[in-house]
Amino acid sequence: MARIAFSSLACPEWPIERVVDAAAQWGYAGVELRSFGTGSTRFACDPAMTGGHKLRRLFMAAGVEPAGVATGLALDDPVCPPVVGHLLSKSWACVDEGRSYVEIAKGLGAPHVRLFGFHVPKVPFQSRRGTLKRIAGRAARLANACRHHGVNVLMENGGDFGSAHDLIEIVNAAGHPGVRACYDIAAGVSAGDDPVQAVRDMSDALDVVRIRDRKGDNPVELGTGELPNQAVVAALARQGFTGWLVYEWERAWIDGLASPELVLPKAAQTLSSWLGAGDASAHSAA
């Protein structure tokens, strides 16, 4: 069965101890920790601010898993000049930055680092096809560099690569077993996806599904909005998905959202009930 986690975007001001304790109290199996890298103090719970051994002990004591390290790193930097630029070390700068996040994930014991493709650069000689190839090549290079660390590269849909088809293209072009997929339902819907079909299409590569809800452009509590999250969770249960469902309440980015104490416990209950219903229907069909 899938496991449920929440993103630390819901509680950026909380120290890591409080985040882990809350996850255990509210019925989450894991926490996805947002990181801005070494030296950042933007989030009090950034895993880069705490030693890996201490983090491992905290999670183990609470019976909670680190579901992953989420970053805002995109692999879409253009290569300039377009041909010889590939030979310059700066064309691989994002891969070097990615390695620093891999070290954080390794110390924490997290299974992956979340990255993006994101944009086709608005500069001359940068096509979508070429950009996708460059993103995939960088993802594969990073995955190869961290293959002995027990950490995968997790590519998420978004921006100009917002659909499930885009995500599958990147993963397939990378051609590396350590490059996996995270599907953001909201981003997929915005790109025109049928997300139920999307999770079926990418099942072999899918490790994480990101869940949030909205009415129009406004975030709302899970199950009260317009996104087909329940149908997606049921589909995942039927197909035997064993990865992570990461609930995202975007308090870090959006002012005025309700406190995590009000939202996260209810989201855990909702996701658990959806998983149970989906799992029961799967057994009935069998």
pLDDT at 80: 62
Give 189-224 as a DSSP string.
HHTT--HHHHHHHTGGGEEEEEE-EEETTEEE-TTS
A 10 A CB-CB count for 49 gives: 19
Residues with Cβ < 8 Å from 131, sequence gap 6 or more? 76, 78, 117, 119, 120, 121, 160
How far apart are the two ends of the chain, measured CA to CA in Å?
16
CA 257 to chain centre: 21
Q: How many CB atoms lie within 10 A of CB 279?
A: 18
Task: Give dist(CA 153, CA 147) in Å, integer.
Answer: 10
Please state, in angstroms and as integers, the Cα–Cα distance from residue 281 to each residue in 64, 78, 116, 239, 285, following that order: 28, 47, 34, 11, 6
The topology under which CATH files domain 3-285 is: TIM Barrel (3.20.20)
Q: What is the pLDDT of residue 89?
A: 47
Q: Could you report the per-residue pLDDT of 249-277, keeping only the tens digit for each?
A: 999 999 999 999 999 999 999 999 999 97
Give the three-class secondary structure for 75: coil
Q: Give me the residues paired with residue 259 across strands.
A: none
> For the residues 194-217, what does the mean pLDDT come to?
96
β pairing state of 218-220 and 213-215: antiparallel
> C-alpha dihedral over 121, 122, 127, 129, to 10 degrees?
40
> What's the token pair of residue 173?
């072009």
Q: What is the DSSP string of 78-146?
A: PPSSTTGGGGSGGGGHHHHHHHHHHHHHHHHT-SEEEEEEE---SSTT--HHHHHHHHHHHHHHHHHHT
The answer to whether 37 and 97 have CB atoms below 8 angstroms apart is yes
Classify residue 161 by its DSSP letter.
B
pTM of the model: 0.93
> What are the pLDDT digits (tens) for 84-102?
444 444 677 899 999 999 9
Segment 112-169, tens digit of pLDDT: 999 999 999 887 777 889 999 999 999 999 999 998 899 999 999 999 999 999 999 9
| pLDDT recorded at residue 284 | 54
Rounded to the nearest angstrom, the gap between the alpha carbon of residue 181 and the centroid of all alpha carbons in its chain is 8
Q: Are 112 and 151 in contact (CB under 8 A)?
A: yes
